[in-house]
Structure formats: structure tokens, C-alpha cells
């Protein structure tokens, strides 16, 4: 940890939040002189304060230790670069349109690697009124099931959460030109274009 870089980052983030050194110090139960010392690079915050400091400043603890925020390149929210993440502990589903550091339940998550749908994970699509009725010939037991289906177009995402022991079917808006993603609890993420 470079105390000067970390201190500069703390000062910048504190000012962005419109906080005084005293307000930040009060939130951490330290003196404003301690905050001043950090911001001038004369010392670093104690390790026991990093979690609270990152929460107050709205930044990841690793970024505080590194002393730098590394912004991603702007991609304009390109849906073609959409990534899906699933927490192995709570099954939370997250998505990002660009590079992201995503964590859940204290674990850093890696994006699911999409692969072309195989026979076991292929969707059957029927047009029904204004929807696609999408069915899968896939088991839905508690140990092996489809966790979600997502329909991604150039401008939108429709996500449907699936649960064990329910029917392996979803309804999605009938908007052509998108890609269907389906996640299996055992085999990962599969894609299938819808035309």
C-alpha cells in the first residue's frame, strides 16, 4: 500500500461526497487529524478501518489499498457484450454490459462463459400472441435444473428466474433479432439466436 496514493484517493473520494475531514473521522470513530495524516501521505489507515472506510467512501477495499480507481473504457452499454454472473452460495443473478468486478456473499464472481446450445439445452420456440413460448427438454430436479433464461436484444434484457421442480418453460416478448441465454446449474451458460 502506497500511503501517498491511498491518501490522495481518500481525499478525492471524501470531497466528491461533500464531506469534511471531521465528518469522515466521526464516521470512523477516529480524529480528524488521523484523516489529515492519511490524506497527506504521512500515514495509512489501520487495516481494521478499511471495511468501514470503503463503505463510507463507496469504493472497493482493494481500490483503497491500491490507491487508484481504474475506470473501464466506455462501451455505451453495448448489450452484445453482456455478461452474466451467478453466485454459487445464494444463486443471485447479476449482469454487466462491460468489464466489472462483481462480488456476492464475499466472493469475487467470474462471468459465465457462454457456449452454443447443445441438444440437451436447446430451446423449442412457439409464437403465441405477442410472446414467444420457450420450452426446454431439460430436467428440473433440485440437483440439476435451469436457473434462468434471458432474452437479449440490442437495447434490452428480459430475464426470467427458474426454480427446481417447476416447468422448464418461459414466456418472453416477441421481439425478433435477439439471443436467448439459458443457464444450467450443472453445465453453465448456453446461447441460441432467435430470428
3-state class (DSSP) for residue 185: coil
pLDDT at 76: 62
Cβ contacts of 1 within 8 Å, gap of 6 or more = 44, 65, 67
How does pLDDT run along the chain (195 residues), one tens digit per residue? 789 999 999 999 999 999 999 999 999 999 999 999 999 999 999 999 999 999 999 888 888 888 888 776 666 667 878 999 999 999 999 999 888 888 898 888 999 999 999 988 999 999 988 999 999 999 999 999 999 999 999 889 999 999 999 999 999 999 988 999 999 999 999 999 987
Q: What is the pTM of this model?
A: 0.73
**121: which DSSP letter?**
G
3-state class (DSSP) for residue 184: strand
pLDDT at 1: 79
Structural domains of the chain in order of their starting residue, each with its CATH number: 3-66 (1.10.260.40), 79-193 (2.60.40.730)
For residues 32 and 103, give the distance between their C-alpha atoms in angstroms, rounded to a whole number.
Answer: 32
Amino acid at each position: 500500500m502506497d500511503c501517498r496514493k491511498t491518501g490522495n484517493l481518500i481525499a478525492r473520494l471524501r470531497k466528491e461526497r461533500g464531506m469534511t475531514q471531521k465528518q469522515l473521522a466521526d464516521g470512523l470513530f477516529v480524529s480528524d487529524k488521523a484523516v489529515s495524516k492519511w490524506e497527506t501521505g504521512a500515514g495509512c489507515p489501520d487495516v481494521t478501518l478499511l471495511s468501514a472506510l470503503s463503505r463510507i467512501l463507496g469504493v472497493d477495499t482493494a481500490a483503497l489499498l491500491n490507491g487508484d480507481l481504474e475506470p473501464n473504457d466506455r462501451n455505451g452499454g453495448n448489450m452484445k457484450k453482456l455478461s452474466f454472473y451467478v453466485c454459487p452460495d445464494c444463486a443471485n443473478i447479476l449482469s454487466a454490459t462491460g468489464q466489472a468486478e462483481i462480488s456476492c456473499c464475499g466472493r469475487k464472481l467470474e462471468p459465465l462463459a457462454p457456449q452454443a446450445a447443445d441438444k440437451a439445452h436447446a430451446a423449442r420456440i412457439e409464437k403465441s400472441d405477442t410472446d414467444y413460448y420457450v420450452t426446454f427438454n431439460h430436467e428440473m430436479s433440485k440437483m440439476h435444473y435451469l436457473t434462468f433464461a434471458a432474452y437479449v436484444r440490442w437495447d434490452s434484457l428480459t430475464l426470467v428466474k427458474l426454480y427446481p421442480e417447476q416447468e422448464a418453460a418461459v414466456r418472453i416478448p416477441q421481439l425478433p433479432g435477439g439471443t436467448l441465454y439459458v443457464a444450467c446449474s450443472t453445465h453453465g451458460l448456453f446461447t441460441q439466436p432467435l430470428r
